Structures are given as structure tokens and as C-alpha cells.
Structure 1
Amino acid sequence: MNIIEKHLLNEPKRTVQNVITAVIVIIFLMWSLTAVDLSNFTSNGVAIAKNILHGIVTPNTDLLFTFNTNGVPYLLLETVAIAFLGTIVGTILAIPLAFLSASNIVPKPVAFIIRLFLIFVRTIPAIVYGLMFIRVTGPGPFAGVMTMALVSIGMLSKLFVDIIEDLEVNILESLESIGCTPFEKIRYGIIPQLFAMFISVAIYRFDMNLRDAAILGLVGAGGIGAPLIFAMNAYKWSEVGSILIGLMVLILIVEFLSNKIRNKIVRG
């Protein structure tokens, strides 16, 4: 009998707990299914789905390869710019908030208050922020950038806090014992430990923001979302196909590059 089999045999039996958990999951699943309403599923919906698929197969190539402000390449570039700038601004603002909410850096009451603020920021969906900023700044890419920045702050701060609280305190204690100043401790003890992980998390957030930026266009916050919804409302399925193909290609490219960069950073 090997070690793995011994561990399996010695593992405590949780039959009752497993059965109760399974029953609760099944109850919630059945309750969730009651919210599914198929009465509105008609032949017209099937026809629209076929038209969308036909539009993807036969896209409007003029729109797909036109390099003016109405073309897919320009709209995709605008979407990338919104997501990128929003991520940069959100990362810059999230770093000090993360340090202020880390209990191993600041007093616990201060960390608790900042964490409550960040929880509040995270509870509001991106599309709600988008509608709010459109009222303040007017429709356009700037509203999208501000929305992406605010949405990024909530998630990035939470992940940054987890990284900060896992700092190797022995390094800081060693630097303090040899008489290093607070700035030197930050420069040589904290930044080297955090830099790679912070960059990796920020790239991951950019990947998410790129998808959110496409959705924000639906409410007028710039990017490719607005032309997509206009084309769908006008039943221009070939234009819808061009935009969807452009989005898929863009997301695949960004996904590939971001994974490459993150792996390179984490591995050093």
C-alpha cells in the first residue's frame, strides 16, 4: 500500500455532509431553473440566430478592412486604447489604496475603513459606472476610460493587498537591522518582491477591461460596442459579422500576448 492509498483510507468520512451539500446544490439548481422562461423562444428568434451566423460566415469585408473612423480596425484600436489607459490609471490609483488597506503595513482600523470603501467600489457594475460618467462627461471614449479606471481600482486593490500581505518580513527586518531608511526598505525590500506580481495582475486586468470596454460602447462610452448594437438594431448582419470577427481576432491576440508576458514576468 502506497502513501496515497494510506491518506485516502485515513481521510475522515464526510458522507452526511456530502449528501447535505449535494441536496442543497440540487435545490438551488431547481430553483434557478424556474427563472428560465422559454415562452418567448419563437421561430423568429431562430431566424435571427441563423442570420447572425450567416453574417459571421459572410462578413462585410469593406467594413472589416476600411481604415477610417467607421472601419472595424479603427474602432478596435479605440477599444484597446480605452482599456489600456483605463488599466494604467486604475493601477496607479490602486497601489496606494492597496498599501493603505494592508493590515501588515498600516493600523488595522485604517485598513478596515479602506477595505470597506473598496468593497463599495466593487459592488457597482461597470455598465452603471459607464452610465454615470456619460452623464458627467458626455458620451465618448473619455467616459469609457474613467469607467475602466474606476472598475480596475476595486479588483486590483484587492489582489494587490493579498500580494502585500504575503511579503517576506524577514527581508525587511534584515534591512532595518543594518540601518536602512524607510525609502531604502521600500526600494530594496518591498518593490523587488511586488513588482513582477503587480505587473502580472495589471496585465490580467487589462485583458478583462478589453472585454468590458467593448460592452461599454453599448451605452455610448466609446469603442466598438455602439456600432455593434446599431448594426444589430438595423438587422445589418454582415456588419455584425465583421465586428464580431474583429473582436474575436483582437481578443485572441491580446490573450496570447498577455499570457506570454505574464509567464515571462513571473518566471523572471
Structure 2
Amino acid sequence: MKEAVRNQYENQPNYWLWKLVVAIIIAILLAWSGTTININELTNNGFKIASNILSGIFHPDTNLLFNFTTSGVAYLLLETVCIAFLGTVVGAVLAIPLSFISATNVVPKGIALIGRFIIMAIRTVPAFVYGLMFIRVTGGGAFAGLLTMSLCSIGMISKMYIEAIEDLDIKILESLDACGCTTFQKIRYGILPQLFPDFTSTIIYRFDMNLRDATVLGIVGAGGIGAPLIFAMNSYRWNEVGAILTGLIILVLIIEFFSTNIRSKLARG
């Protein structure tokens, strides 16, 4: 056995030349990209601004951080979470029919190709563009952020749904069909138990992404904590920036803890 392994190892193709060429190309690309860095632009004023930013982040404005009115960090974070959560739920529900008509093991390939084209078109447009479009339609506020998150969620969730649907164990459905089960019973006992863990894990993962995207979307006026954050940065109120970032970090850590545990339990059955 050892001799066979040794012979296999000695007879394997030697790709050292290709590896060397790839390494040289990567080194050239890194060196070329580095030419865009201009260290001379780092003036004394720039270092001073950087120190002020760090000082503000590590010395947050506690009055803003523990302000429970509509202008406080807690309320703005709650609004951001609501935008992300509702956007994820709406996008996940709308993605279900779109995913089934895009799965090749459910519908003919021609129809599935059309469904995949629609999903690809939705995913192509950046979230910022959707946000600016909906702001023109509904005006600024949380509703525009909700619509943006919903539409952005459809593309990614649909893609993950399709993979789960196409990985269905057909033998289970054949067994239920042989037992004389109705269509509803096959869906209830054969399809949903297989899809539920994957669907739920995808929704939770997308909620994590939407929570961060909702923060950024607030910069364009789509509700949430993004607008106060950019206003504080433009006004050089770094203590307020520190308070907002502190709240965001705590919120993300809490949600990441619970979402990781839930996904882990779903993966282990």
C-alpha cells in the first residue's frame, strides 16, 4: 500500500512552472495596484483628523447612546432592525414562487430559464440604486428602506432556494406516492421537511446581511441609523459617531450570536 502511494506521488504531474507564472502575475498585479497609493497625501492635518476619529469612537457620546427618544441611538437601531427584518420576510415570501418556477426539476427548462433571468436581473442592480428609486416614489423614510431590502433580498434568497429545491430527495416523494398520499400530504411530509432547514438558514443569513445594508441605506434617506451617522461624520461630531458605532457593534454582536446558534442547530438537525 505504501509503495502504491509513493508511486502515485512520484508520478503526479509537476505544475511548478504554472504555479511560478501565476505567482509572478499576482506579484505584478499587486505592484501595479500599489502605484495608486500616494503616501504624500497623508498630511499632518490628515493624521489629526484620524486621531480625532479614533478619540470620538473610543469616547462615545453617552447622552446620545442612552437617549431613548426618537432621536436616540436605541430608537434608530430599532428602526433599522425593523427595516431589515420586514424586508427579509417580504423578500423571502416573494422568493418562494419565483424559486419554484426557476428550478429545473419542477418546471420545464424553458420556464426555469426565464425565472433565472428575472432573478439575475434583480440581483444586478445595486441596493443604492433601488434605494434612490424608491425614495423618488415613496419619499424618504423607513418604507423606502423596506421596499429596497425586500427587492434586494429576492435575488439572493431565490438563488439559495433554487439550490435547495433542486437537491430534493425524489425517492421520498416516490415512496409517499406509492403509499397513496395526496398532493397535499406529499408537500406536507415530503417536501417541507426537506426545505424548511435550508430555507430558514438562508433567511437568517440574509437578515444578517440586510441589517448591515439597512445601515448604509440610511445614508441616502431610506430610514434607519445611516442618515444620523453620515450627518455626524460630515459635521465632525466624532463623539456622536462613536455612540452610533458602539450601538451598531453591540446590536450586530447580539444578532450574530443568536443567528449563529440557530443556523448551527438547523444544520445539525
Give the TM interval when normalised to the shorter protein: over 0.9
Report the alpha carbon displacement of residue 15 of structure 1 after superposing the two structures with TM. Answer: 2.5
Deviation of residue 3 (structure 1)?
9.0
State how far apart, in whole Å, the 2-side matches of 1:116 and 1:39 are. 47
Mapped pair 1:200 → 2:192: no
Shift of 1:59: 1.0
Structure 2 CA distance, aligned partners of 1:20 and 1:32? 18
Mapping 1:183-198, distance limit 5 Å: 183-198=184-199
Cross-structure match for 2:268: 267
Q: Deviations over 1:38-75 (max 9, x none)?
A: 55433222222111110112111000001000100111
CA distance in 2, matches of 1:84, 1:31: 42
Which blocks of at least 5 consecutive residues in structure 1 are unaligned? none
Aligned partner of 1:18 in structure 2 is 19
Q: Distance in 2 between matches of 1:25 and 1:241?
A: 38
1:93-242 matches, cutoff 5 A: 93-242=94-243
Find the aligned partners of 2:87 and 2:165 in 1 and give their Cα distance.
23
Query: 2:29 is matched with which residue?
Result: 28
Identical columns (%): 59
User: Cα 1:101–1:35, aligned 2, differ >3 Å: closer, same or farther?
Assistant: farther
Q: Whole-Å Cα distance in 2 between the matches of residues 96 and 62 of structure 1?
A: 47
The CA deviation string for residues 232-258 of structure 1, in whole angstroms up to 9 with x for no partner, is 111111111100111111111111111
Please report the TM-score for the alignment, with normalisation by the length of structure 2.
0.93
CA separation of 1:134 and 1:178: change in aligned 2, threshold 3 A? same
Cα offsets for 1:58-93 (capped at 9, x unmatched)? 111000001000100111111100000000000001
Give the secondary structure class of the aligned counterpart of 2:86: helix
Q: What is the aligned-residue RMSD (CA, Å)?
A: 2.0
- In 2, the alpha carbon distance for the partners of 1:2 and 1:87 equals 56
In the other structure, the counterpart of 1:252 is 253
Partner Cα distance (1:6, 1:138) in 2: 70
Counterpart Cα distance in 2 of 1:157 and 1:53: 40
- Secondary structure of the corresponding residue to residue 257 of structure 2: helix
| CA distance in 1: counterparts of 2:6 and 2:37, whole angstroms | 44
Unaligned 5+ segments in structure 2 are: none
